[in-house]
A and B are shown apart, each in its own frame.
Chain A
């Protein structure tokens, strides 16, 4: 048994082993389990962007990009197995798309010198690059999301939320618990009452939480859900006739699969997003020509343009730009993980650059530095139009409340530094 396993792994390593000068980005995806509906779309977007670069430009700076997939099923043990299996010399960066796996990988990747890129998820305080040297979470993090949601509600209520009731419906895991501290601070600052309603993983079972919402009648519900939890929550909200326009999800609760199950009842549901949606960007002409039409798209390209797919594309785009920057700084296309980290820290994606990439206005400008690994953290709101079956962007990018977030991030990252025995780097 063990012998055959050894033989098999060696054989696998020989077959999958990258040729020299290829850029290896191990892709920890999940296409099975309770989070598959969303995870599979994200993975498709991530793959297709790099397929496009390979097909159209021959990779980045002449180096082909490989994204060998490994199935994690959103499970931390499998995540660890995938990390160990793919952690070769050539592996540059990990984007595990799971907050739980990110927490496992932060110490490991930092010790191994691999970049960990967690756009819109993972450990929020990783924004502090002085402590988290190898972790990046631009363009926005969970606390930014909570702050933007509250800012939007302030905007809706003439700048005053006093006496309002906001309920947080969250996935009872590291992911869902992340925004609680921020929302508590914000409730102190703005005078609203916050009620916290945990939903146990995976999240189909939330009858009692909605019963409580029905009884308490909160003015707004903010949701941090993922996978099967999202459609279940939106269906329950429709069942108790909760006004959909007062129901705001984080960006991970804003995919098509989440709202479609509730049909017309989901009309008006809002969610945050840090990227554009739909296929009305010049980029998609190239994608169709080089990837979808020749049949090279993941799963035949059936999710192209969906909201979660777009987030996968956006994550890949930022990694791609960081690689480009790193190649520029290193003067060679064949970069290593440390050079990629430098590329991330020098990353500067302007609006003009986004237009050049065929995605004008798709995302906010991102400028990172040694100290700031999280960018500006802006997000915007989108609303579901059930009749047209599409998401519409309803606000411009909203800046989160740094006054509240900065001390929280400083405190949390300092606590981590103390726990892990890290001396923060000197940089600004």
Chain B
């Protein structure tokens, strides 16, 4: 009823395997993109950009990165915060060292550096998996945070160990620093999120993605059918870290503007992004966005409701907010262990048949 497949004929393989097989979905997606690019930048204010949309987009990029590793390749990782820190410190060192080069290239280069670091810490995955690998990546998390705290070269010997993003512009628009307009910050994050999601979607439905999924589902069987576990696992670590590095670079340079490694990229960040992936849905690009939205928007919405709407004391609201978010996570995972993406998929299935269930 709501979803009409009638008349939506596919006459080529290309059409058959597109991301949005239903015409209605395609139009909804195009409309969303049009609104995101043509409407939102003109109505957005500082609060919407800096407190809601920019963190949402950055976390979505990080969640896509982790989802490739955990959801598609089945390699459990708790090192996300550390890899984000690599991206942040890389973009900091690069943009200070080469101020003449556009920040976009620095952010991409920061992703590349993170990819190398990620592959290095991905090496143990060739021997171990599951919880053992989680512990190995946890070591990466602690080692990287310790490293950026310990070695003053990374923070250019500043007295406090903080790094501050220098002012940089893209096409004449400031995107970092205090003079960046909300629209510019939002658009650069949107551009990166769009490209990352597009790359991730195409990688995961191509041969690389099928190799990852084969390794995830049963590594021995995958090896027998000709998947090289070395390249499959290391490319998963590399691609995942590349995206996470980009997220870390944007998180520091565009969103926060200043960062302290223990506070901004601690173990809590790793858990937060892992929760986004689990809540959103393992092995789903849409799920990464949904999970990021859930974890970023819900606390802000609850805070605005409880403190702004009901006038509750801030500490009480903060505690209640933790309880509600925690409770909802539990309820969600009981109701749908495969996350928001699966919930959405089921809803769509139901709507395609509605009102005639079988």
Chain A interface (Cβ < 8 Å from any Cβ of B): 1-2, 4-5, 8-9, 11-13, 15-16, 29, 31-32, 36, 40, 69-71, 73, 75-77, 80-81, 84-85, 87, 99-100, 103-104, 106-108, 110-112, 123-125, 172-175, 177-178, 180-181, 198, 200-201, 412, 415, 419-421
Which residues on the B side are within 8 Å of A75 (C-beta)? 263
Contact of B260 among A31, A76, A85 (CB under 8 A): A76
Bound: A80/B264 CA distance, A: 12
Bound: A69/B308 CA distance, A: 10
Bound: A412/B164 CA distance, A: 14
Which residues on the B side are within 8 Å of A103 (C-beta)? 160, 162, 164, 258, 260
Contact of B262 among A31, A200, A419 (CB under 8 A): A200
A177 touches B266 (CB 8 A): no
B263 touches A29 (CB 8 A): no
Which residues on the A side are within 8 Å of B46 (C-beta)? 84, 87
Known: A87-B47, A107-B257. 14 other contacts (CB 8 A): A5-B52, A5-B297, A5-B300, A8-B304, A15-B311, A32-B315, A69-B314, A76-B256, A76-B258, A84-B47, A107-B164, A107-B177, A174-B260, A201-B266
- Distance from A85 Cβ to chain B, minimum over Cβ atoms (Å): 6
Chain B interface (Cβ < 8 Å from any Cβ of A): 46-47, 50-52, 55, 149, 158-162, 164, 166-167, 177-179, 255-260, 262-264, 266, 293, 297, 300-301, 303-305, 307-309, 311, 313-315, 317-319
Contact of B308 among A11, A76, A173, A421 (CB under 8 A): A11
With A103-B260, A198-B149, A201-B266 known to touch, is A15 a contact of B319 (CB < 8 Å)? no
Which residues on the A side are within 8 Å of B166 (C-beta)? 419-420
Contact of A5 among B164, B301, B318 (CB under 8 A): B301
Bound: A261/B51 CA distance, A: 38
Which residues on the A side are within 8 Å of B263 (C-beta)? 75-76, 100, 173, 201
Which residues on the B side are within 8 Å of A125 (C-beta)? 159
Bound: A1/B294 CA distance, A: 10
CB closest chain-B residue, reference A74 = B263
B315 touches A178 (CB 8 A): no
B309 touches A15 (CB 8 A): yes
- Distance from A183 Cβ to chain B, minimum over Cβ atoms (Å): 12
B315 touches A9 (CB 8 A): no
With A108-B178, A173-B263 known to touch, is A1 a contact of B256 (CB < 8 Å)? no
With A15-B309, A103-B162, A419-B164 known to touch, is A32 a contact of B297 (CB < 8 Å)? no
B314 touches A31 (CB 8 A): yes
| In the complex, the 8 A-B pairs of residues with the closest C-beta atoms, listed nearest first | A12-B308, A31-B315, A111-B178, A174-B160, A71-B314, A107-B178, A81-B51, A84-B47
A71 touches B317 (CB 8 A): yes
Bound: A16/B258 CA distance, A: 30
- Distance from B50 Cβ to chain A, minimum over Cβ atoms (Å): 5
CB closest chain-A residue, reference B298 = A1
Bound: A9/B297 CA distance, A: 13
Which residues on the B side are within 8 Å of A36 (C-beta)? 315
Which residues on the A side are within 8 Å of B317 (C-beta)? 71
Which residues on the B side are within 8 Å of A173 (C-beta)? 161, 260, 262-263
Bound: A349/B133 CA distance, A: 61
A77 touches B256 (CB 8 A): yes
Which residues on the A side are within 8 Å of B159 (C-beta)? 124-125, 177-178, 180-181, 412
- Distance from A246 Cβ to chain B, minimum over Cβ atoms (Å): 26
Which residues on the B side are within 8 Å of A99 (C-beta)? 160
Bound: A31/B309 CA distance, A: 19
Which residues on the A side are within 8 Å of B258 (C-beta)? 76, 103-104, 106-107
A9 touches B179 (CB 8 A): no
Which residues on the B side are within 8 Å of A32 (C-beta)? 315, 318-319
Bound: A273/B129 CA distance, A: 53
